[in-house]
């Protein structure tokens, strides 16, 4: 083989390796592992039925569901969380103390508490206005949508579902930091 052919083969192999490396980083593969980042799901209420997608996520959870939300009243969500807790999933909820006065919110939280779901409320002056869920360290959600019947059926809302390990880890860390912050959050009942 001539020098020129060896050089062309080396350049071709190097180009292929570079393309594989660029493709792997674009789809989320790391160190040859199978961590693939899927495109985010962007759902709008009421037409895309994002609350029903949340219910499906909760029904598929195997290890943990961490919810930080201002409002939680949607009966299918409450049922899915109770069922997840009964399956042995670590279900935790952080919500806003001002929403405890809402009759539907209180009923939903009472149901969760009876099922053994620990609930925390904010004790600081600001709202606990976050709308975030972390499921099994694999998926996290964000957007404007509370987990309420109004949000599910009537409001103009957005729910983003991210299948991204890095943002999911960050969301989990934020939730656990809030959960452990006894100055700003307290156990409800």
Phi and psi at residue 119, to the nearest 5°: -130, 135
Residue among 82, 78, 170, 175 at smallest CA distance from 130: 175
Domain span at residue 163?
A: 37-187
Give the tens place of pLDDT for each residue, 51-90: 999 999 999 999 999 999 999 999 999 999 999 999 999 9
Same domain, 31 and 122: no
Same domain, 161 and 109: yes
Same domain, 15 and 58: no
Same domain, 23 and 77: no
Share above pLDDT 70 across residues of the chain, in percent, rounded to a whole number:
80
Same domain, 17 and 59: no
CATH assignment of the domain containing 46? 3.30.870.10
Average pLDDT over residues 31-48: 77
Which helix H or strand E contains 139, and what residues bound it? Answer: strand 139-143
Same domain, 58 and 148: yes
Same domain, 80 and 3: no
Question: Is pLDDT at 2 greater than 80 in this prediction?
Answer: no
Predicted local distance difference test score (pLDDT) of residue 1: 57
Same domain, 32 and 106: no
Structure tokens at 37: 């980042």
Same domain, 177 and 127: yes
Same domain, 26 and 71: no
Same domain, 30 and 49: no
pTM assigned to the model? 0.81
Where do runs of H (alpha helix) occur along the chain? 3-27, 50-60, 75-86, 103-114, 149-153, 165-180
Residues in the chain: 189
Same domain, 136 and 60: yes
Give me the torsion for CA of 162, 80, 47, 66, rounded to 10°: -30
Q: State the total domains in the chain.
A: 2
């Amino acid at each position: 083989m001539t020098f020129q052919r060896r050089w062309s083969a080396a350049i071709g192999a190097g180009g292929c390796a570079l393309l594989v490396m660029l493709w792997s980083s674009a789809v989320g593969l790391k160190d040859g592992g199978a961590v693939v980042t899927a495109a985010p799901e962007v759902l709008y209420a009421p037409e895309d039925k994002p609350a029903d997608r949340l219910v499906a996520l909760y029904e598929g959870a195997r290890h943990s569901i961490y919810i930080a939300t201002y409002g939680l009243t949607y009966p299918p969500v409450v049922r899915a969380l109770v069922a997840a807790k009964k399956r042995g999933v670590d279900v935790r909820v952080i919500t806003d103390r001002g929403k405890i006065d809402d009759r539907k919110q209180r009923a939903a939280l009472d149901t969760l508490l009876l099922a053994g779901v620990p609930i925390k409320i904010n004790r600081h002056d600001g709202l606990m206005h976050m709308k975030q869920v972390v499921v099994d360290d694999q998926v996290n959600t964000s957007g404007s949508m509370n987990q309420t019947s109004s949000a599910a059926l009537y409001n103009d809302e957005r729910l983003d579902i991210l299948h991204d390990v890095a943002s999911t880890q960050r969301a989990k860390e934020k939730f656990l930091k809030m959960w452990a912050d006894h100055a700003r959050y307290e156990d409800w009942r």
